[in-house]
Amino acid sequence: MKTPFVVLALLSLAVPAVAQETDIDRERDRFLRPEAPIGSRFKQEAQAADVADARQMQKRLAKCVYYGNKDELDTLLANSDFDRIDFSALEFEAEEFFDEIDFGRCLGRAMKQSQYKIYATMQYSTLRNLVAEEAYLYSNKGPPVREEGAPTFIEARFIGRRAGPRSKVLAEVSDCISYRNAPAAHDLLDSTPGTSGEGSSLEALYPTLLTCLDTEEAPNLDPTMVRMLVADGMWTRSYYGAFETAQTKPTDTE
């Protein structure tokens, strides 16, 4: 599979802590921000502590949102891809989305006690991809095992029914990652954003990323974008039954 340059460009973009636009294509180029390299193949922000805090707050926010709306958000995930949500398949309209999932309450719960006030807006697609990670982890407490004979590409996924050129490529890459190295992908999603554990997990997954991107070297991949891509593939493979059903709890395995 020859991966268009757009995939590498997308994975090199930094996702802002706050942003809300419905026209994702038009806004994508605005996400570029200067980074300070520190010897890693993955981008590190110049103000790493602030960015790590923001990313960890995003994770707490997504977890709160998902745990309070599991059925509704499982339906949303099944009718969306990395970039798009088919609101016509849902019980609420796009303009009702944030109110329906109680975004404001979860934002308050995600804040640190030291934070007096915060204002945030977020892209539909960004929240969707953060939720995919929490939905996957909710159903998979330990590293999954690929079902014998499972396909590389999950045809039943939303993009398999309504394929756009870029979305289809992103789906192929994310499915490739979950097919080739689910344990390393799980470890990444199970790590805390912005920590050394996440960094180690990213490095462990790097060879798989190169294979699935069909490149010998990927320049400065952004950890947040990689994490979202991995979450999409892992949730999809889990949701459509392409992982074996666990026979034992993770603590019981040898």
How many CB atoms lie under 10 A from the CB of residue 168?
15
Mean pLDDT of 126-132: 94
- Per-residue model confidence as pLDDT tens digits over 22-36: 343 333 332 223 333
Q: Using a cut of 0.85, tell me whether the model's pTM lies above it.
A: no
Contact 154, 101 (CB under 8 A): no
pLDDT at 127: 92
Q: Output 113 or 112, whichever has higher pLDDT.
A: 112
In angstroms, rounded to a whole number, what is the distance separating the alpha carbons of residues 135 and 131? 6
Tokens 């960015």 belong to residue: 51
- Per-residue model confidence as pLDDT tens digits over 211-253: 998 888 766 788 999 999 999 999 999 999 878 765 434 433 3
Considering only 104-113, 131-140, 196-205, which range has the smallest mean pLDDT? 104-113
Token pair in block for residue 6: 């757009």
pLDDT at 218: 67
In angstroms, rounded to a whole number, what is the distance separating the alpha carbons of residues 121 and 127? 10
Domain-wise residue ranges, the chain: 5-252
pLDDT at 253: 35
Mean pLDDT of 99-115: 77
